[in-house]
Amino acid sequence: MSYDALPEGWQVWADESEGRSVLTYRPDVFNTKDFPAPCLPTIYVTNGSRKRRPGASQIPTDTWHVSLFLEPEVEGTVERYDSRAAAVAGAADLAARFVSGEVDYRGFYQVPRADYLDRLDELVGGEGTGPDE
């Protein structure tokens, strides 16, 4: 299980041998100077419980989750897998869809941030994202 096929711009931030992985997109520019650091696009691979109670995420489950966050409170895509190997492959695929403009990250925001999202479009390389744009 490896992340050798990650698209350009994505890197492995952390990878535990039998557990959670964290992938980040362009941490070189999400540095508070160029882009806001809290907005660092991040993909988590984990088999922790998704229940919203303290400590729940520390309880292992049989289901693996691949979650894309655009900010700490802006969760985007969440995909489920039956194994860590499938989740790792799914995370690499999600990263590729992100950089190719197939992920409509604008749709994840309840409060639009047009200026920021326009800059993110430029960084990713498109003029808007999502299948309808």
pLDDT tens digit sequence for 65-110: 999 999 988 999 999 999 999 999 999 999 999 999 999 999 998 8
What pLDDT is stored for residue 130 in this prediction?
47
Residue 49: which residues within 8 A CB-CB, separation 6 or more?
A: 56, 57, 58, 59, 60, 61
Q: Residue 66's CB: how many other CB atoms inside 10 A? A: 25
| Model-wide pTM > 0.95 | no
Beta bridge partners of residue 81, listed in sequence order = 64
Query: What is the average pLDDT across 114-131?
Result: 77
Beta bridge partners of residue 80, listed in sequence order = 65
Task: Determine the Cα–Cα distance for residues 48 and 46; give it in Å rounded to an integer.
Answer: 6
Sequence letter at residue 27: P
